[in-house]
A and B are shown apart, each in its own frame.
Chain A
């Protein structure tokens, strides 16, 4: 193969489109970054080139970390995401397993019911939901969102895991049962370990959605100390009609970093998980 033609083709098919995508997807983050280190003077000036910073400053970050509850919000967000992920994956597994591998009366109804929960739009739910939360005296607690987020996550986890569970051959399970294993043991010792990528995948997806949620957090978490990052940043860095842009961008960037890091470790699993889940369905 001659290098030139090969390279030309690769350029067209890979490098150019890749560059385009990277620029398009990452440009707002670059923007966040430079805005967060621009002093206000430069921010509001129309005359200078907006793509670079002339006199970078860390003032916005300092203000963000020192004067707001940002670190508390970060802690809350991660805690909520972790708990809801565990809860959703657990309940999702428990629902997906019978639906994928067992025959029992009412299976169709449950399957349709679970799919139907996805169709329910959030704006419809939040008033009855807040009534429920308040009756359980959970207003302004992280428990409120820990209980409500899984409603968005469990159906997806269940769907994803069903694909995985279906792909495990029955013979393995049956062999174990013949040897005396209970159904529960067959599930936990045979099938689940084989589906670890799927579990990881469901976990990552849940984690992502959970720390992205906005509407319920906005309504249930009114006190600053219990807020999550998206709510805290958007509501407290805006006073009246004034946006503290520098701090907002700093908060936005810092809020994105933990997730991005986690993702860089788990991207392979995420991709692999969606493979088995969706194609085999």
Chain B
């Protein structure tokens, strides 16, 4: 099917260029960039209205911005990749650069230039955007997941600084639940707020799903069992039953309904709070995930731009990306998002955008200890499958609802063995 299309396109192109040789060298009139709607609307507006206009003035190329709904980017990207048509530049998140490797252009040259200008890239992001030693996407920031909590209620039970370890958090939670302010950590089939604490919990106890080689499933270990047992205790003693079915929106709702005192979330709670619930926002703060016996971790969620191979003029697209990521543009653009995105460039480690709201600083802090889903296993189709099937999340969720630790680990191991053996 695709070869027929290619033949058709090729013959048309040949005819076209034979008839009008001049046309083949003209710059594109416009290029389309598709991204998921940002949580921070001014960020999208700044791109669509300010930056696009500037670029058009400079180069005559119109930049069209297409927004998909949140959660719709993957579907859109699938369609674009499959049909080899549509926007030239698309947003990728998580490990999509690996999934769509065949459809993305090597942008190592652009990445190199940006890194040189802006102090080098953070190490841990390479895992998700570098495929077979080639850069396939250019990250512009991290959407971190941190602990969001009610400072006033914590103070009531004598906790003035957010607990350092999971065990300490458990103790605080017990006291808070008794006072009618339980915790609410997502254990359902959402996407961000469940992985946001379950992977860090898992890693901080030393748990691993797969080894770096991607061939050995090592989830069945004493470390995993400890993590699972802790999770069950944590759930039973500090949380409400409903969290088992929560998707990403429920903890926000519960937080604003003053139902919970602590959860794991991106900065959306504070952002909305400042606008709509100022009283609650005043007593809300962020903290890094607690540490376990094997360290402190966070989940990496890098959002990037990638260039599709079907783009008619790859050079022009790369030129645009180079311009966009230049400090002159990127600095302004990131500021318009109120530090919602934590950039992966060391040059921005002390950027003034962090000064606007000191409560966002932990998001910057967390970059150092952030790892992608299924780390240290290799990113790729198997990783995506295990995440899409909620292997890790369900393991913890089932344990919390009462299944035995042995059973849930065995089930997860069996699932992973099936997934990873499939290439």
Tell me the complex Cα distance, A236–B41, Å: 11
Tell me the complex Cα distance, A218–B259, Å: 33
The interface residues of chain A lying within 8 Å CB-to-CB of B258 are 44, 46
Q: Which residues of A (94-109) have their CB < 8 Å from a CB of B?
A: none
Q: Which of B5, B259, B268 contacts A242 (CB 8 A)?
A: B268
Number of interface residues of B (CB under 8 A): 39
Given contacts A134-B83, A134-B85, A241-B248, is CB(A235)–CB(B69) below 8 Å?
A: yes
Q: Which residues of A (163-208) have their CB < 8 Å from a CB of B?
A: none
Shortest beta-carbon distance from A24 to chain B in Å: 23
Measured CB to CB, the nearest residue on chain A to B8 is A135
A131 proximal to B (CB < 8 A) = yes
Tell me the complex Cα distance, A223–B86, Å: 12
A127 proximal to B (CB < 8 A) = yes
B13 proximal to A (CB < 8 A) = no
B37–A239 touching, CB < 8 Å: yes
The interface residues of chain B lying within 8 Å CB-to-CB of A224 are 67
Which of under 10, 10 to 19, 20 to 34, or 35 or more describes the interface residues of A?
Answer: 20 to 34
Tell me the complex Cα distance, A223–B190, Å: 25
Q: Which of B37, B79, B259 contacts A46 (CB 8 A)?
A: B259
A44–B79 touching, CB < 8 Å: no
Given contacts A46-B257, A241-B249, is CB(A235)–CB(B70) below 8 Å?
A: yes
The interface residues of chain B lying within 8 Å CB-to-CB of A137 are 85
Most chain A beta-carbon neighbours within 10 Å: one of B79, B190, B265: B79
Shortest beta-carbon distance from B3 to chain A in Å: 14
Q: Which residues of B (55-113) have their CB < 8 Å from a CB of A?
A: 66-70, 72, 75-76, 78-79, 82-83, 85-86
Measured CB to CB, the nearest residue on chain A to B258 is A46
A139 proximal to B (CB < 8 A) = yes
Tell me the complex Cα distance, A235–B253, Å: 18
B7 proximal to A (CB < 8 A) = no
A242–B68 touching, CB < 8 Å: no
Measured CB to CB, the nearest residue on chain A to B73 is A222
Shortest beta-carbon distance from B346 to chain A in Å: 27
The interface residues of chain A lying within 8 Å CB-to-CB of B251 are 241
The interface residues of chain A lying within 8 Å CB-to-CB of B276 are 40
The interface residues of chain A lying within 8 Å CB-to-CB of B76 are 222
A243 proximal to B (CB < 8 A) = yes
Q: Which residues of A (226-276) have their CB < 8 Å from a CB of B?
A: 231, 234-236, 238-243
Shortest beta-carbon distance from B328 to chain A in Å: 28
The interface residues of chain A lying within 8 Å CB-to-CB of B257 are 44-46
Most chain B beta-carbon neighbours within 10 Å: one of A135, A218, A222, A241: A241
A212 proximal to B (CB < 8 A) = no
A240–B83 touching, CB < 8 Å: no
A148 proximal to B (CB < 8 A) = no
B68–A222 touching, CB < 8 Å: yes
Q: Which residues of A (30-50) have their CB < 8 Å from a CB of B?
A: 40, 44-46
A72 proximal to B (CB < 8 A) = no
Tell me the complex Cα distance, A239–B36, Å: 10
A219–B79 touching, CB < 8 Å: yes
B34 proximal to A (CB < 8 A) = yes
Q: Which A residues fall within an 8 A CB radius of B? A: 40, 44-46, 127, 130-131, 134-135, 137, 139, 218-219, 222-224, 231, 234-236, 238-243
Can you name 17 A-B residue pairings with CB atoms under 8 Å?
A: A40-B276, A40-B277, A44-B256, A45-B257, A134-B79, A134-B83, A139-B86, A218-B72, A218-B75, A231-B69, A236-B69, A238-B70, A238-B249, A239-B38, A241-B266, A242-B39, A243-B252
Known: A40-B277, A44-B258, A131-B83. 13 other contacts (CB 8 A): A130-B79, A131-B1, A134-B79, A134-B86, A137-B85, A235-B72, A236-B69, A239-B37, A239-B70, A241-B249, A241-B265, A242-B39, A242-B252
Q: Which B residues fall within an 8 A CB radius of A? A: 1, 5, 34, 37-39, 41, 66-70, 72, 75-76, 78-79, 82-83, 85-86, 190, 192-193, 248-249, 251-253, 256-259, 265-266, 268, 272, 276-277
* Shortest Cβ-Cβ A-B pairs, 4 listed: A235-B69, A134-B83, A240-B39, A241-B248
